[in-house]
């Protein structure tokens, strides 16, 4: 915990993104507080979230494509073996849930699983390290866990949602999709009710997908921040068990995001 800050300020500081945007008074600039970031409205971007998210995505692609390029069919090296384990794990999950032919699903599931896992993994870096370094370099805010930013999780779930709509229409036709939305579960005499029910169900998919990941990571991060408020000699008592437990959570959340994406897309392909 940095000196000269109240606990509330400290928590507030750690939960504020580094936002660059069009401020009504200051013009295009970095927000100096959460208040200013809020005033920027939609014409702003969370630079830290984007940088870490894209950086981790590039790390994932570079690591995996390098292994893929040098992949041998003989005895695999340690790294290749590890990557192959992940690939087989994802492939098994996709094959057990998704029974149609679609070349996008499996690579997308892999991307989601590894990328979300890496973003969540940033949660295990002690909360003060990177913000302190950034602060020393003159950067006021630095949130290093992209999945604690609702924009990031919602961005991914909206992309998945667009794919759900796209494949629903592609597989069933626009009329088939509309019929599915309006003619069940109660038949055509309860059409408005059906439509309402199905639309809520449809919209709930991306919202729950995004909020589940965001909520888990945000809460986890919050607990790390609260633990960081303790005297330094007592922190390990709580932070070590919580970090160990959190290893499970970050893997589980990445896995859940992947599996639900596969399930939703499988539902989009299935005719009811």
Partner 1 sequence: MNMNMTILGQIISFIIFVYLCMKFVWPPLTAALAERQKKIAEGLDAADKAARELEDAQQSVEAALQESKAQAATLIEQANKRASQIVDEAKETATAEADRIKAAAAADVEQEVNRAKEALRAQVATLVVAGAEKILGASIDVNNHQELVDKLAAEL
Q: Which residues are catalytic?
A: 208, 212, 216
Contact between residue 115 and residue 57 where contact means Cβ atoms under 8 Å apart: yes
Per rule CB under 8 A, is residue 106 in the interface with partner 1? Answer: yes
Residues near 185 by beta carbon (within 8 Å), at least 6 away in sequence: 194, 197
Contact between residue 45 and residue 146 where contact means Cβ atoms under 8 Å apart: no
Binding mask 120-149 for partner 1 (x = CB under 8 A): -----------------------------x
Helix, coil or strand: residue 19:
strand
Enumerate residues 149-188 that contact partner 1 by CB under 8 A.
149-152, 154-156, 158-159
Question: How many residues are given for the chain?
Answer: 272
- Tokens 């949130």 belong to 143
Phi, psi of 143 (to 5 degrees): -100, 115
Contact between residue 109 and residue 115 where contact means Cβ atoms under 8 Å apart: no
DSSP string, 34-73: HHHHHHTTTSEEEHHHHHHHHHHHHHHHHHHHHHHHT--S
Per rule CB under 8 A, is residue 42 in the interface with partner 1? Answer: yes
Binding mask 201-230 for partner 1 (x = CB under 8 A): ------------------------------
Number of other residues whose CB lies within 10 A of the CB of residue 255: 17
Q: Which one of 100-108, 127-135, 172-180, 187-195 is the stretch in contact with partner 1 (CB under 8 A)?
A: 100-108
Per rule CB under 8 A, is residue 104 in the interface with partner 1? Answer: yes
- Interface with partner 1 (CB under 8 A), residue from 10, 52, 110, 216: 110
User: CB-wise, 102 or 171, nearer to partner 1?
Assistant: 102
User: CB-wise, 39 or 198, nearer to partner 1?
Assistant: 39
Binding mask 45-64 for partner 1 (x = CB under 8 A): xx--xx--xx--x--xx--x
User: CB-wise, 34 or 126, nearer to partner 1?
Assistant: 34
Contacts from 228-237 at CB under 8 Å and sequence distance 24+? Answer: 228/1, 228/10, 228/126, 228/127, 228/128, 229/1, 229/7, 229/10, 229/11
Minimum CB separation from partner 1 for residue 182, in Å? 28
Helix, coil or strand: residue 270:
coil
Helix-helix angle 7-14:191-227, to 10 degrees: 120
Per rule CB under 8 A, is residue 73 in the interface with partner 1? Answer: yes
Per rule CB under 8 A, is residue 25 in the interface with partner 1? Answer: no
Per rule CB under 8 A, is residue 71 in the interface with partner 1? Answer: yes
Give the footprint of partner 1 on this chain (CB under 8 A): 17, 19, 21, 34, 37-38, 40-46, 49-50, 53-54, 57, 60-61, 64-65, 67-69, 71-74, 76, 83-84, 87-88, 91, 103-104, 106-108, 110-111, 115, 149-152, 154-156, 158-159
């Amino acid at each position: 915990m940095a000196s000269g800050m109240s606990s509330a300020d400290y928590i507030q500081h750690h939960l504020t993104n580094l936002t660059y945007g069009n401020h009504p008074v200051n013009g295009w600039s970095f927000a100096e507080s959460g208040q200013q970031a809020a005033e920027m409205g939609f014409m702003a971007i969370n630079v830290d979230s984007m940088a870490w998210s894209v950086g981790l995505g590039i790390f994932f692609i570079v690591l995996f494509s390098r292994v893929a390029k040098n992949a041998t069919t003989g005895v695999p090296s340690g790294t290749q073996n590890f990557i192959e384990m992940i690939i087989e794990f994802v492939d098994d999950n996709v094959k057990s849930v998704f029974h149609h032919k679609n070349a996008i699903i499996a690579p997308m599931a892999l991307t989601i699983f590894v990328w979300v896992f890496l973003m969540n993994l940033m949660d295990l870096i002690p909360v003060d390290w990177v913000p302190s370094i950034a602060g020393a370099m003159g950067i006021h805010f630095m949130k290093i866990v992209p999945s604690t930013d609702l924009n990031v999780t919602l961005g991914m779930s909206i992309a998945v949602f667009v794919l759900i709509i796209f494949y629903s229409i592609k597989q069933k036709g626009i009329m088939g999709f509309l019929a599915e939305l309006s003619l069940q579960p109660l038949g055509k005499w309860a059409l408005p009710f059906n439509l309402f029910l199905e639309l809520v169900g449809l919209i709930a998919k991306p919202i729950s997908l995004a909020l589940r990941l965001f909520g888990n990571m945000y809460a986890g991060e919050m607990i790390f921040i609260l633990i960081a408020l303790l005297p330094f000699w007592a922190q390990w008592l709580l932070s070590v068990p919580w970090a160990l437990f959190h290893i499970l959570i970050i893997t589980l959340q990445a896995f859940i995001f992947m599996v639900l994406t596969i399930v939703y897309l499988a539902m989009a392909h299935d005719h009811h």
